[in-house]
Chain A
């Protein structure tokens, strides 16, 4: 698989797609959606769609696409090749969400959780298929969050398309298995060939599976923790594994949307106690600074 379009700038999200087979533009089609790399603290999350004419559903089985979790990496690689070779009736598209995109979405001021991010990406891919002229009639999705709500959301967005959301859809529907293979192959490729944007010298690539509970991953995270910057962009900062390590081992950084309880904030700002407002006026020697200076946050200095 050629992921060079993403590798060129792995800090953003990227869309990769096959050409749309002509039959898909004329015949009624089904489409499967699945994702790879939802759990790991390292690397991108990849969303994949696969589509083919409903009449060719059985042909997919001939390509022996099965639940990708039961396959080895090389088997998946071969299956993807088979899918890509079936250009005459199978099309696919991938949305690669870089770890940096995941971090910045989840940690921005108006937080966007992973489920929302997943849903939006899936919806974007279905829309992409429609925009490319694919005659969609059926959509099969592996669930993210409660299946009914997700199904309702998608049905409302795409009237006229029959949406089926099921847990373990990747082992139930061949078209979802195919999508899952595309996504997994892409993720493996990217993680293996990750080009670090940071200058880290000869980097140790023994980061294991990338899942938080993998001891290799944990050791790698400890090794590459910078006290000021935290981690390279390869790491999802929003994962609690990364956050806990940063909180305990790196320098504390305060943002103005940090949650602070009232007492702490008051102490920091050296606020006056409420009681002081009820005391007798007068006798206060500290002069109010003119608003020209307070508005501009300018202060006289006592010492350096």
Chain B
């Protein structure tokens, strides 16, 4: 046996495999240089990676997601890259990132200029969000505005925000339906071709799924508010998803059999022919089992044997 392989810690790369729209990497103008920036993630409140591209009055925000699976590496030209990740740079509405700062400032209850609210010592790049195209223009979706002497002042408005988020959810539902994304509870294999498209997914399933997706971009509290606003049922707590405890609960009701076994006694009941076995099962069945204990033998009480 060769010695056990040891895993080395991932070393820093200086190149990545990235998928991005042509417009992002269009660097005809020098100021157009796309840059990775760390900004506060509205959902986790920690830093995440984003990308800003374009310059002047045409800055675009993009989120960066990594496709990451074990046991992957790249062959790039004549070299090997240990990091098998695939980065996706996709456009993102900057309002999601601006929103937490507006909510924070709302506690003061005053109308303020945007650049006074969007400030972060930890992530100084956040001020660049305001120079994104349409950032200021779309802010009216989530704030009340006042204009004094040519200056704009804003104050966070939750009702407006929820209405805006509801529209986002509805838009997402449309896309989910168009892209045939399975939103039901059951796990479905994407490689398995279904003859009949399942019509089981109700509108509520789609709404719930879309709400979950949008919640990846807003704070936990706002996600809860949005859930109520959409009139979706409360999320089942993780406790309930655990299997029920084995212990039978005491109740006042009379005990009844959970299943009807009498059907097995009727004449109509015929034993089903054994199911066809897969190739793997057939192989297993062929194995010489002489001298082997059955699995069930391990679970029998040992008491009797010990008494001998």
Contacts and interface: CB of A to CB of B under 8 A. Distances in A.
A57 B43 CA distance: 85
A303 B64 CA distance: 10
B209 to A, nearest CB: 7
A291 interface: yes
Contact of B2 (A244, A264, A287, A298): A244
Given A298-B88, A299-B65, A290 B213 contact: yes
A302 B47 contact: yes
A248 B215 CA distance: 49
Contacts of A278: none
B2 A301 contact: no
A247 B47 contact: no
Contact of B7 (A254, A292, A304): A254
B278 to A, nearest CB: 14
Contacts of B67: 296-298
Nearest to A277: B242
Given A290-B212, A301-B65, A256 B71 contact: yes
A290 B212 CA distance: 6
B229 interface: no
Contacts of B3: 247-248
A223 interface: no
B49 A303 contact: yes
Nearest to A265: B70
Interface residues of A, number: 30
B286 interface: no
A281 B239 CA distance: 9
B41 interface: yes
Nearest to A255: B71
Nearest to A300: B48
Contacts of B7: 252, 254, 264, 268
- The listed residue with most B CB atoms (<10 A of its CB), out of A256, A268, A290, is A290
Interface in A29-63: none
B212 A297 contact: no
B193 interface: no
A228 interface: yes
Contacts of A296: 67
Nearest to A240: B2
A116 interface: no
Nearest to B69: A297
Given A290-B216, A297-B67, A303 B38 contact: yes
A289 interface: yes
Contacts of A204: none
Nearest to A301: B49
B71 A300 contact: no
Interface string B167-206: 0000000000000010000000000000000000000000
A88 interface: no
B191 to A, nearest CB: 13
Interface string B56-88: 000000011111111100000000100000011
B16 interface: yes
Contacts of A258: 5
A301 B66 contact: yes
Best-surrounded residue of A248, A287, A293 (most CB of chain B within 10 A): A287
A10 B80 CA distance: 26
A254 B71 contact: yes
A127 interface: no
Which of B16, B48, B69 gathers most chain A CB within 10 Å?
B48
Contacts of B69: 297
B304 interface: no
Contacts of B212: 290-292
B46 interface: yes
A256 B70 CA distance: 8
A243 interface: yes
Nearest to B176: A292
Nearest to B79: A228
B213 A292 contact: yes
Nearest to B215: A290
B49 A299 contact: no
Contacts of B71: 254-256
Contact of A300 (B2, B49, B80, B215): B49
A294 to B, nearest CB: 11
A290 B222 CA distance: 16
B65 A300 contact: yes
7 contacts: A243-B2, A252-B7, A268-B70, A289-B216, A290-B212, A298-B65, A301-B49
Interface of A: 228, 240, 243-244, 247-248, 252, 254-256, 258, 264, 268, 281, 286-287, 289-293, 296-304
Given A264-B7, A297-B67, 19 more contacts: A247-B2, A247-B3, A247-B5, A252-B8, A254-B7, A255-B71, A256-B70, A289-B216, A292-B181, A292-B212, A298-B66, A298-B88, A300-B41, A301-B66, A301-B87, A302-B46, A303-B49, A304-B13, A304-B49
Interface of B: 2-3, 5-8, 13, 16, 36, 38, 41, 43-44, 46-49, 63-71, 80, 87-88, 181, 209, 212-213, 215-216, 220, 238-239
